[in-house]
Structure 1
Amino acid sequence: MAEADPFKPAAAAEASAAERRKATRLKRMRLIAMLLVPALIVGGALYWWFGQPGEVSTDNAYVKQDIVSIAGEVNGLVVEVNVHENQQVKAGDVLFRIDPTSYRVAIQQADAQIAGAQARITALQADVGANAADLAAARDDLALAEAQYAREKALLDRGFNTRARIDEAQHAVAVARDRLGSIGAEVEKARAQLATGAQVPGLNPQVAAAEASRAKAALDLTRTVVRAPVSGRVTQVNRLQIGQMVFTGVPMLSIVREGGARVEANFKETDLAHMRAGQPAEVKLDAYPGLKLKGHVDSIGAGTGSEFSVLPAQNATGNWVKVTQRVPVRIAIDSSSGDRPLIAGLSANVTVHVDGK
């Protein structure tokens, strides 16, 4: 009987242990792979979702509305105020009235100027007619004097006349010629005064000037009644009092235009990389907690706020400190605020979904 090899069991045990270790490593590697692949997928998704800015927000935002300043177009004293603070008005409503007395007098003066100009025209026309008759008579007198001179000259040549009579005939011709020239000058002067204007054919310049003055006076009279140019709410009425002097072009009150409310959000320049016009936005107002308004980016400002300040920053100095600039972004409001008015100047919080969601 052959003797058993004492090393075989040990070798077999060692081989079995090696196989178990190899199997364990394979299981571990498969487990790691099973955990790593989903982790990479989840990590990539998280990077895509959070690594790219999906939205940007700012609380440096305010409601804006068009505000129309109302000023008088003529000077005068306020005699009537027809509105009160925060009153809703429609375009064409009377806001206040200016004393019209001086402007009515101006119309009367203009009417008198027109009448005077027309009377002068009538007188000139009469003068032209009379001078025309005198001119015809002067022509006849000159013709008669010249004929008489010719007869006297013929008699003198035949020896039947004296030199004195020839001199008298020559003097008569000269007098008739001078009278004809004088009357002709008067006729031309009258006709020149009756000449029609080049800009308004058929209308005498004097009459045209008087009628223009009358039209200006009538326009100024209508301007003594100041009306609302737009619909909206009246503000700053306390600046307007009865008896107060109004000067042309000086604002007396304001109207906040009806509708057209928008939000001006001042975003940091670092928030603009992915912002585009048309992207959806959400607006929350501090005055109305819980109210969320839908909107969209209407436009992005052409310059930072500092560029349009009264004293723009001068950075070409040695003490320059970099400051993140803000750019005004106009947000158009798409949804209704219901019975909650969008008052100009209200603070807002704006979120823009730069991913378009």
Structure 2
Amino acid sequence: MRKSIRWSLIALVSLILIGLGIWYYEYSRFHPNTEDAYLAARVVQPAPLVAGRIVRVYIHNHETVRAGTLLYRIDPTPYRIAVARARASLSQAQQTVRAEMADVRAQEANVRFADAIFVNDLLIAKRAKNLLHEGYGTRQTYDNAVAALKSARARLHLAQAQLAAAQQKLGRPGSHNQLIRIARANLDEALWRLKQTKVHATCDGAITTANLHPGDMASPGVSPFVIVCNNDWWVNANFKETDLTHVQIGDAAQVDVAMYPNHAFRGVVASISPAAGTAFSLLPPENATGNWVKVTQRIPVRIAIVDPSPAYPLRVGASVSVTVEPNHPLKVHDAH
């Protein structure tokens, strides 16, 4: 009797274990999981756009900052001098243009004066010609009138040429003049460079790797520290290729962060890499040998975290475990 009961219990336990194994296998097929995953976030490097000596530092390492916070300041003295020089150049250009416009107006008056003299001498020459033909005038009077007309025509042509030269030298009048536009552009550039001596945060986040002190030299494009933005977190997860059969972009996911074992984050599959992790490595695997062994590849998948919480601050590079729920897309209103 006892023997039969024992065998019955063994059979029952075996059936339960087999059932659990089948359930776990089916669950794993449709709920792929990986622990080869790490937290990532948008990282900003607040590099200066101008060079100079740093005179003030307003932040310290691991400090939390808001977008627009003044981080550090570069010595503005040489850039203020450049602005003053650009303002003076603009004023000089405006004076030059005003003088050239006055010269154009003077040449226009000369043309009108020369034209009036030419018209008057033309009439005098015509009257002298008529009087000469009618016998009331002398040849000398007519010759003098013709000579005066030629001289008036030459003075008119000279005045017109001088006007054309003055207009060519001036170019476009007023604020559209090239000299003024160049001087104003130089001033705008100088003002922009002066503004860049103040470096601000471009996102809400935390300062890291900061090692900045007054007196240090700043170089354009070289960031002295990093800001980890806290409003855009995701997981770089590497799934086995055999686990992605039913996974699609938009599927819901559960993210378990190792440092918070009692709190799970919600995520959504944001993208699936079109290539395996080894496809573009420095030394890709070479399988054209006789002893080739098939190795299951890992496919990078990006999981966006939709519910980051200040109560559970995340850290870039932290280890996480990700479980995807295929065919369970995360609705937009569920993400907020």
Q: TM-score range by the shorter chain?
A: 0.7 to 0.9
Q: Residue 243 of structure 1 corresponds to which residue in structure 2?
A: 215
Q: Residue 267 of structure 1 corresponds to which residue in structure 2?
A: 239
1:269 positional shift: 1.4
1:232 alignment partner AA? G
Aligned partner (choices 141, 155, 161) of residue 185 of structure 1 = 161
1:229 positional shift: 0.6
For the 8 Å contact 1:53–1:354, the answer to whether it is kept is no
2:92 alignment partner AA? G
Seq. identity, %: 34
1:236 positional shift: 2.1
> 5+ unaligned residues in a row in structure 1: which ranges?
1-37
2:20 counterpart of 1:49: no
Q: TM-score normalised to the size of structure 2?
A: 0.78
Aligned partner (choices 69, 74, 80) of residue 98 of structure 1 = 74
1:182 positional shift: 1.1
Q: Residue 221 of structure 1 corresponds to which residue in structure 2?
A: 194
Residues 173 and 332 of structure 1: CA distance in aligned 2, closer, same or farther (over 3 Å): closer
Q: Deviations over 1:216-240 (max 9, x none)?
A: 21122111111001111112221x3
Q: TM-score normalised to the size of structure 1?
A: 0.74
Tell me how far apart the structure 1 counterparts of residues 83 and 110 of structure 2 sit (CA, whole Å): 40
Range moving further from structure 2, 175-184 or 151-160: 151-160
Q: Residue 306 of structure 1 corresponds to which residue in structure 2?
A: 278
Tell me how far apart the structure 1 counterparts of residues 177 and 55 of structure 2 sit (CA, whole Å): 39
Aligned partner (choices 103, 111, 117) of residue 127 of structure 1 = 103
> Where do 4+ consecutive residues of structure 1 move more than 6 Å?
41-44
2:54 alignment partner AA? V
Tell me how far apart the structure 2 counterparts of residues 316 and 166 of structure 1 sit (CA, whole Å): 110
1:355 positional shift: 8.8
For the 8 Å contact 2:252–2:326, the answer to whether it is kept is yes
Residues 321 and 182 of structure 1: CA distance in aligned 2, closer, same or farther (over 3 Å): farther
2:272 alignment partner AA? G
Q: Residue 323 of structure 1 corresponds to which residue in structure 2?
A: 295
SS in 2 for 1:70: coil
Q: Residue 25 of structure 1 corresponds to which residue in structure 2?
A: none
Aligned partner (choices 178, 181, 197) of residue 205 of structure 1 = 178
Residues 301 and 152 of structure 1: CA distance in aligned 2, closer, same or farther (over 3 Å): same
Aligned partner (choices 264, 286, 291) of residue 262 of structure 2 = 291
Tell me how far apart the structure 1 counterparts of residues 234 and 180 of structure 2 sit (CA, whole Å): 53
**Higher Cα Rg: structure 1 or 2?**
1
SS in 2 for 1:331: strand
Alignment map for 1:28-67 (pairs within 5 Å): 49-54=23-28, 55-67=31-43
Residues 43 and 114 of structure 1: CA distance in aligned 2, closer, same or farther (over 3 Å): closer
Tell me how far apart the structure 1 counterparts of residues 210 and 182 of structure 2 sit (CA, whole Å): 39
For the 8 Å contact 1:135–1:183, the answer to whether it is kept is yes
For the 8 Å contact 2:251–2:327, the answer to whether it is kept is no
Tell me how far apart the structure 2 counterparts of residues 268 and 220 of structure 1 sit (CA, whole Å): 51
Q: Residue 231 of structure 1 corresponds to which residue in structure 2?
A: 204
1:142 alignment partner AA? F
Tell me how far apart the structure 2 counterparts of residues 62 and 354 of structure 1 sit (CA, whole Å): 21
1:65 positional shift: 1.4
Q: Deviations over 1:252-300 (max 9, x none)?
A: 3210002333322212112222434424425141x45x43414244235
Q: Residue 6 of structure 2 corresponds to which residue in structure 1?
A: none
1:68 positional shift: 0.9
Q: Deviations over 1:160-202 (max 9, x none)?
A: 66655544332221111111111122223334445537xxx97
Paired residues, what number?
311
